[in-house]
Amino acid sequence: MALPDIRFTAPDPAAIAAHPGLVAVFGDLALDAEARRVDRITKGALTRALTSDAWDSVPEGEAMVLAYPSNMAASAILFIKLPRRAEASVLRKAGASVGKALKTEGALVLAKAVKSIAPLVEGAALRAYSYARRAEAPKAPGAITFCVNDPDHAVAAAREVLAVAAGVHFTRDLVNDPANILTTTEFAERLVALRKLGLEVEVLDEPALETLGMRALLGVGQGSDSPSKVVVMHWKGAEGAPFALVGKGVVFDTGGISIKPASGMEEMIMDMGGAGTVAGTMMALALRKARANVVGLVGLVENMPDGKAQRPGDVVTSMKGDTIEIINTDAEGRLVLADVLWYAQERFKPSGIIDLATLTGACMVALGYENSGVFSNDDDLCNALLKAAQAQDEGAWRLPLGPAYDQLIKSRMADMKNAGGRWAGAITAAQFLQRFIKKDQPWVHIDIAGTAYPASDTTFAPKGASGWGVRTLDALIKARFES
């Protein structure tokens, strides 16, 4: 879904009473000047709300809805609790309150008193998202018009956050799309279309992957009619060694021969969430013309049971040359990432590398839907990532690595096995990936199994794909290379 139409205008007293959709105003212990104007029009409706017991229970950034206010054409007043010196996180939440309530008639946001407009706009743009593939297309939401003192300044201030929000929406569309629509070929074509934004995009097909020796990745997809691919996206906004982002792109995961239970399998359309996040981040960097050199690589496969499918007990050889005993064909994402991680290092010699994957149910058991699991061999890069996630209100929590966990993936016949059993499943998956990271290569692995596709709506997204990670990675890159 495209971003909603977002506009900026100077305050217009006549527009307040005439707007047919939502009118959003702000208050905390008192009403700001625009809210007082609305209060006069409605003969004290906001004053009564402000002094009610119900207002005390409204959290900061959230809204009380006053439906069909008198003397106004509006369907509702969205009365948002906002402190005078609200932090960015509260402003984003306030914007999300507008985006969530947005209907076809649009919204008029009286933001003259808001000192920092960008996070307010960001929250509205992020939350004003919906996804559906019904016969009758849903009605598009109306425009969100922000009334501000200096519209030109607001346009400039909001440019970058809107670019990132567009990347988030792109990620959500990819993750929400069903696998009969988002095949590996369709996914690659959508990424090739990003060339129009200035990205260099290259698609490696199965013969090329075979030549490179990516037999761990190819083994995952050999039971599917959809051809396996690796797509490389490069944004050259600066000189020097690139920073690398790597994403798992399993467009559908049946588990293969180690087939998953039928119940809930339909949600495995989201198993390409890591690749979706990398794609959305690369789009955001290109849209905002980031002054950074970043390469994004995604491994696109489908894991299906078939007469040609990989079996438990098979041994495959990775691009690195290490052999892997297949214990469970449902532990497939690490096989995809292993080859793409090695290829990224061999070809690009990156200054740092971050991979993202909906990798393990074990991470969801540990952290639920609130936090992504973070693993790293480099404290500086990891701490920078965690700081960026916190600033963007995206939950992330560091989990350990250690040599003792290697014993759980020790194979009697190969260099390693692809599954370590019931205990510490998220850690053994990360420990597996670390074997494909070169010495002295700064690296972070992020397990987004819970955060990519939460079970219910969140502050910034309806139920379904969240787009987790696009804002965090963009903020990390900005702080690391552009500040």
CB atoms inside a 10 Å sphere around CB 412 = 6
Which pLDDT band, with edges at 50, 70 and 90, does 381 fall under? very high
pLDDT digits 0-9 by tens, 102-114: 999 999 999 999 9
State the catalytic residue, choosing from 36, 159, 260, 347.
260
Q: Region 226-253: what's the mean pLDDT?
A: 98
Side-chain-side CA neighbours of 30 within 13 Å: the count stands at 4
Is 229 tagged catalytic?
Answer: no
Is 260 tagged catalytic?
Answer: yes
Which pLDDT band, with edges at 50, 70 and 90, does 392 fall under? very high
For residue 382, give every residue at least 6 positions away whose Cβ sits within 8 Å of its Cβ, in sequence order, or none.
Answer: 374, 376, 398, 444
Q: What's at 74, amino acid-wise?
A: A
pLDDT digits 0-9 by tens, 190-227: 999 999 999 999 999 999 999 999 999 999 999 999 99
Which pLDDT band, with edges at 50, 70 and 90, does 30 fall under? confident
Q: Is the pLDDT of residue 373 over 90?
A: yes
Which pLDDT band, with edges at 50, 70 and 90, does 448 fall under? very high
Q: Is the pLDDT of residue 395 over 80?
A: yes
Give how far the C-alpha of residue 243 lies from the chain's centroid of Cα atoms, to the nearest Å: 18
120 neighbors 95 (Cβ within 8 angstroms)? yes
- pLDDT score at 33: 85
Name the pairing type of β-strands 229-236 and 323-325: unpaired
Token duo for residue 437 = 């990271």
Which pLDDT band, with edges at 50, 70 and 90, does 468 fall under? very high
Q: Region 21-38: what's the mean pLDDT?
A: 91
Q: Region 88-95: what's the mean pLDDT?
A: 98
- pLDDT score at 84: 87
CA dihedral 192, 194, 198, 202 (to 10 degrees): -20
Q: Region 419-424: what's the mean pLDDT?
A: 93
Q: Is the pLDDT of residue 162 over 90?
A: yes
- pLDDT score at 105: 95
Q: Region 360-386: what's the mean pLDDT?
A: 98
Q: Is the pLDDT of residue 135 over 90?
A: no
- The conformational region for residue 157 under phi > 0 = left, psi -120 to 50 = alpha, else beta, is alpha
State the catalytic residue, choosing from 215, 334, 471, 478.
334
Q: Is the pLDDT of residue 1 over 80?
A: no
CA dihedral 274, 277, 279, 284 (to 10 degrees): -160
d(CA 83, CA 190): 42
- The conformational region for residue 257 under phi > 0 = left, psi -120 to 50 = alpha, else beta, is alpha
d(CA 350, CA 338): 16
